[in-house]
Amino acid sequence: MNTLQIREMFPILHQEINGHPLVYLDNAATAQKPLQVIEAVKRYYEHDNANVHRGVHTLGSRATDVYEGARDKVARFLHARSTEEVVFVRGTTTAINIVAASYGRAVCQEGDEIVITPMEHHSNLIPWQQVAKATGATLKYIPLQEDGTISLEDAEQTITDRTKIVALTYVSNVLGVINPVRDIARIAHRHGAKILVDGAQSTPHMKVDVQDLDCDFYAFSGHKMCGPTGIGVLYGKKQLLEQMEPIEFGGEMIDHVDLYDSTWKELPWKFEGGTPIIAGAVGLGAAIDFLQEIGLDEIERHEKKLTAYAMDRLSAIGDLQIYGPRHERSGLITFNLGDIHPHDVATVLDAEGVAIRAGHHCCQPLMRRLNASATARASFYLYNTEEEVDRLVDSLIKTKEYFGYAIG
Amino acid sequence: MQLDDLYRRVIMDHYKTPRNRGKFEDGAVSVELNNPTCGDKITLQMRVEDGIVQEARFIGEGCSISMASASMMTDAVKGKTVEDAMGMAEDFSKLMQGEPVEFEYEDIEALSGVSKFPARIKCATLAWKAMQKGLEAAKN
């Protein structure tokens, strides 16, 4: 399938913004949705809508089938050992919070260590700060090197026998760095620690195999991979999820309720209190089908090519500073254009129909490390083209001229 | 969407050469505010005596709109009573809603174009919110 054919499946891309064809380059924040996903959600509401796991009627069993069917798809997509290891949650943030609040608080005590990195976005940083505060454990950071990557030597130094949990992102949403999570998992396990991988920025863009990575927990969101918002996944190794207590209690997750005590359902439902996001799960299942039809390898190859092209063209703009490593990175580029504040850059680009991100990207500690209060970011996905990169570059040159004229 | 509505010459002038940039040594009301969605931040200091804002200074990091707005605001409140300054902040909020409001300190009216860029209204109001917060605190 070529990019033009793929673009045909995304209705939202075919519109004008401020008189220019839309160039959507904010995919790291959320991706656009193909017809296949939109139709699946629509079909569910038009034909199958009912609550799951309790209806004796036909719609109830259809809803249960599509919801659990989506779980099967996720399990195969991640190469999990079983569907019991796939918990549907609201998104990456919720998934990490469940692990922190349930597993983290249960296993950490004073003198223990939790290891993260300075490139974590707030969702994989604050939950661990809170666990550290509540339990007296020490929060430690694997330091960043000059180019924004982390070294295995530093990881070896930081992770010790006192480490209980290592939590890190697979791909940085600011630096584009791809972390060596498989190697870090090995180091963590050698010390008896568990590892959580934040897959928000990796799952949409590359093949992920949780057994191959040997991660204990893996979290991601549906909306960054062409699925709906409000649905995400917590993957956990069965034996760990089994020993964890749920943190949300209520309907759907209970087994037997007495006046003064209750028991929980089996995995994965014990973590799914309340009516779940059924349509969201259906949409996520459709998104997985869509991505797999195109092929994750194909998507990765396309983004790599596009990013290399963008790197070349952006590097040729004078005064444009790019953050993070040049090579071995994922499809997003964070930059600043001279002294022009990224908000001003984003506003001028928006006037040209080009949507990018400007701000701290929920990574305040990392921004301080980069010595920037904010940055601009262009992030690519399977439907972006070289022509769109050209539009980005042209608009940036215009921005420079505009501000050069206005300020200079 | 006209960019020149947003980036008028007078705004660029305040951005390039901000008025009242700096800090007091002491004896001033000090407010630190940031815009958590974008990372803009401002530290505003004011000396209030006899119900009058004698002086106002700021330091901060932010886009052209937020810094120009801070420059104008600090200039405009100097010599005003606390009530008048608070009234100005309310007028400024109306200006951001697209209402035509006149200011004694005319430069501020150049920011009227921000109302057409909803994503940028928070940038423009940051300094004014800091002023309101500071004067509320000074009253108590």
> Are B63 and A341 within 8 A, CB to CB?
yes
User: Is residue A407 included in any domain, yes or no?
Assistant: no
How many Cβ atoms sit within 10 Å of the Cβ of residue B51? 12
Confidence of residue B14 (pLDDT cuts 50, 70, 90): very high
Q: Which residues of B touch A351 (CB under 8 A)?
A: 1, 3
pLDDT (tens digit, 9 = 90+) per residue, A142-183? 999 999 999 999 999 999 999 999 999 999 999 999 999 999
Task: Over range A250-260, report the average pLDDT.
Answer: 90
Higher pLDDT, B117 or A55: B117
Confidence of residue A359 (pLDDT cuts 50, 70, 90): confident
Residue A401's contacts (CB-CB under 8 Å, 6 or more residues apart) are none
Share of chain A above pLDDT 90, in %: 89
- Where a domain ends, among A293, A321, A338? A293
Task: Over range B119-132, report the average pLDDT.
Answer: 95
> Are A176 and A366 within 8 A, CB to CB?
no
Q: Answer yes or no: do B9 and A406 touch at CB < 8 A.
A: yes
**Helix, strand, coil tally for chain A in percent (to 5):** 45, 20, 35
A102 and A8 inside one domain: no
Whole-angstrom distance between the N-terminal and C-terminal Cα of chain A?
Answer: 47
For B38, the closest of A374, A403, A406 (CB atoms) is A374
User: Is residue A206 included in any domain, yes or no?
Assistant: yes
A10 and A46 inside one domain: no
Whether residue A220 has pLDDT greater than 90: yes
Whether residue A406 has pLDDT greater than 50: no
Q: Which residues of B touch A18 (CB under 8 A)?
A: 1
* Residue A399 structure tokens: 């921005």
Whether residue A13 has pLDDT greater than 90: yes
A43 and A89 inside one domain: yes
User: Is residue A408 included in any domain, yes or no?
Assistant: no
Cis peptide bond N-terminal to A268, omega within 30: yes
Tell me if chain B has a CB within 8 Å of the CB of A360: yes
Q: Which residues of B touch A364 (CB under 8 A)?
A: 39
> Are A351 and A18 within 8 A, CB to CB?
yes
Q: What is the mean pLDDT of chain B?
A: 93
Residue A405's pLDDT is 53
A259 and A386 inside one domain: no
Distance from CA of B135 to the nearest CA of A (A): 27
Share of chain B above pLDDT 70, in %: 99
Model ipTM? 0.87
Whole-angstrom distance, CA of residue A144 vs CA of residue A339: 25
Instruction: Return the residue matching tokens 């010595």.
Output: A371
List C-alpha distances in Å: B136 to B23, B87, B129: 20, 13, 11
Distance from CA of B81 to the nearest CA of A (A): 33
Tell me if chain B has a CB within 8 Å of the CB of A374: yes
Whole-angstrom distance, CA of residue A275 vs CA of residue A250: 10
Please state the domain extents for chain B: 3-139
A190 and A318 inside one domain: no
For B63, the closest of A19, A344, A367 (CB atoms) is A344
A171 and A57 inside one domain: yes
Residue B100's pLDDT is 93
Q: Answer yes or no: do A344 and B41 touch at CB < 8 A.
A: no
A319 and A386 inside one domain: yes
Number of structural domains (chain A) is: 2
Share of chain A above pLDDT 70, in %: 99
* Residue B3 structure tokens: 């960019």
Looking at domain B3-139, its CATH class is alpha beta
- Where a domain ends, among A274, A293, A312? A293
A54 and A162 inside one domain: yes
**Lowest-pLDDT range of A16-25, A81-90, A250-259, B97-106:** A250-259
User: Torsions phi, psi of A112, nearest 5?
Assistant: -80, 165
- Where a domain ends, among A293, A311, A329? A293
Counting one residue from A and one from B, how many pairs have CB atoms under 8 Å apart? 53
Residue B6's pLDDT is 87
A123 and A143 inside one domain: yes
Nearest to A90 by CA among A273, A286, A244, A240: A273
Choose the mutation target among B15, B63, B115 for the interface with A, i.e. most A CBs under 10 Å: B63
Whether residue B38 has pLDDT greater than 90: no
- Most confidently modeled of A360-364, B22-26, B37-41, B135-139? B135-139
pLDDT (tens digit, 9 = 90+) per residue, B46-91? 999 999 999 999 999 899 999 999 999 999 999 999 999 999 999 9
Whether residue B39 has pLDDT greater than 50: yes
A81 and A229 inside one domain: yes
Q: Answer yes or no: do B7 and A351 touch at CB < 8 A.
A: no
Give the domain CATH number at A381.
Answer: 3.90.1150.10
Residue A408's pLDDT is 43
Task: Over range A184-189, report the average pLDDT.
Answer: 98
Question: Exposed, middle or buried: residue B106 (CB in 10 Å: 0-12, 13-18, 19+)?
Answer: exposed
Residue A345: which domain range?
Answer: 3-32+296-402
Question: Is A362 annotated in the active site?
Answer: yes
Residue A336's pLDDT is 95
For A359, the closest of B37, B61, B65 (CB atoms) is B37
For B6, the closest of A347, A358, A360 (CB atoms) is A347
Residue A373's pLDDT is 82
Whether residue A345 has pLDDT greater than 90: yes
Higher pLDDT, A361 or A98: A98
Give the domain CATH number at A277.
Answer: 3.40.640.10
Model confidence, pTM = 0.93
Residue A278's pLDDT is 97
Q: Answer yes or no: do B40 and A364 touch at CB < 8 A.
A: no
Task: Over range B112-136, report the average pLDDT.
Answer: 95
Q: Which residues of B touch A344 (CB under 8 A)?
A: 7, 63-65
Q: Answer yes or no: do A343 and B3 touch at CB < 8 A.
A: no
